[in-house]
Amino acid sequence: MNNVLITGFTGQVGSQLADYIIDKTDDAVIGMMRWQEPMDNIYHLTDRINRKDRVFIKYADLNDYVSIYNLIESTRPKFIFHLAAQSFPRTSFDIPIETLQTNIIGTANLLECVRKLKQQHGYNPVVHVCSSSEVYGRAKVGEALNEDTQFHGASPYSISKIGTDYLGRFYGEAYGIRTFVTRMGTHTGPRRSDVFFESTVAKQIALIEAGHQEPKLKVGNLASVRTFQDARDAVRAYYLLACKSEAGGVPNGEAFNIAGEEAFKLTEVIELLLSFSSRNDIEIVTDTDRLRPIDADYQMFDNTKIKNFIDWKPEIKASDMFRDLLQHWRSEISSGRIPLNR
């Protein structure tokens, strides 16, 4: 049984990846987290964790080099899925330095640990560096984004991910570390953080249905068109790419777009989510606190490259994904876990 390390284990994507590995492989999951992180997305795994049944929690912090080194040195995972980040673009305008520190320096800390262990002990794992489609920023309307599209940072977050992206490529090319980089488009589904657009819309609908919010749906900029995909499809691509890299089929530092193939205007996302509700009195209002100083308004992607490397395509329909997301918030609220209205 091999170890697989997931940084960002408690997030939506990290927890979905853990579920995939447990279900589809014989590997053990090493979930990296900080001691104070919320456990909401991994409560379904706590019985396994308590029994030490293929899921293990290890405490470390990307900004603490020693903790990262000790974690990797002691567990020697065959795959490292580096998903941990300050991941909310809007928040990055309020905490730009922390965003840059965690996402760029934190990634450098992790890659430096791998480099040192490779140099000293010949340890050579596959390292997945999770970048973001936000690196493309303010793309031209009508342009299908591929891996050669020029970067255009549109937030401190996107700039931090540009740095992360380059680090993944550099450590692969310069030091022979088996890295690959992914730039995932907008992804959602159950466990999506409530600060992201489609999740906050679904959350507010569920709050209104339960009588915890007046029937006013607060939104920011709706002048955006983008593809959506289910995170459960994306993690399958992550693992397949890692296996391909282990087999020598992915050049070090190679980057891949991973995106859905169903596109929506944000107004259409709202209409679809509202269509799943029996409430017909919900008013849509603009909340200036939800607006970014600059926005990535157009994100349509070309998945050709990843399909040339692995047998993958999105399988979960967007309508099912959005319905599952709304049901996730209904379940949370019915269980007494009332989320903040943000």
Q: What is the pLDDT along the chain (342 residues), one digit of tens a residue?
A: 899 999 999 999 999 999 999 999 999 999 999 988 889 999 999 999 999 999 999 999 999 999 999 999 999 999 999 999 998 888 899 999 999 999 999 999 999 999 999 999 999 999 999 999 999 987 776 678 899 999 988 899 999 999 999 999 999 999 999 999 999 998 999 999 888 889 999 999 999 999 999 999 999 878 788 889 999 999 999 999 999 999 999 999 999 999 999 989 999 999 999 999 999 999 999 877 776 555 556 678 899 999 999 999 999 999 999 999 999 999 999 999 888 887
Strands 126-130, 178-184: pairing kind: parallel
Alpha carbon 61 to chain centroid, angstroms: 18
State both tokens at 10.
Answer: 């408690």
Structural domains of the chain, ranges and CATH numbers in brackets: 3-188+229-258 (3.40.50.720), 197-225+261-299+317-334 (3.90.25.10)
State both tokens at 70.
Answer: 């000790």
List phi, psi (to 5°) of 32.
-85, 135
DSSP 67: H
Task: Say how many C-beta atoms besides its own lie within 10 A of residue 43's C-beta.
Answer: 11
- Cβ within 8 Å of residue 236, ≥6 positions away: 20, 312
Task: Say how many C-beta atoms besides its own lie within 10 A of residue 244's C-beta.
Answer: 17
User: Which pLDDT score is estimated for 220?
Assistant: 82
Which residue has 């990055």 as its token pair? 92
User: Which pLDDT score is estimated for 16?
Assistant: 97
Please give the model's pTM, rounded to 2 decimal places.
Answer: 0.92
Strands 178-184, 187-188: pairing kind: unpaired
Give the angle subtended at the CA of 168 by the CAs of 34 and 66, to the nearest 5°: 35
If DSSP codes are grouped into helix, strand and coil, which group holds residue 117?
helix
Give the angle subtended at the CA of 193 by the CAs of 81 and 91, to the nearest 5°: 95
Task: Say how many C-beta atoms besides its own lie within 10 A of residue 17's C-beta.
Answer: 27
Q: Are 227 and 301 in contact (CB under 8 A)?
A: yes
Strands 144-145, 283-286: pairing kind: unpaired
The DSSP secondary structure of 153-208, one letter per residue, reads --SHHHHHHHHHHHHHHHHHHHH--EEEEEEE-SEESTT--TTSHHHHHHHHHHHH
- Cβ within 8 Å of residue 161, ≥6 positions away: 85, 103, 131, 132, 134, 135
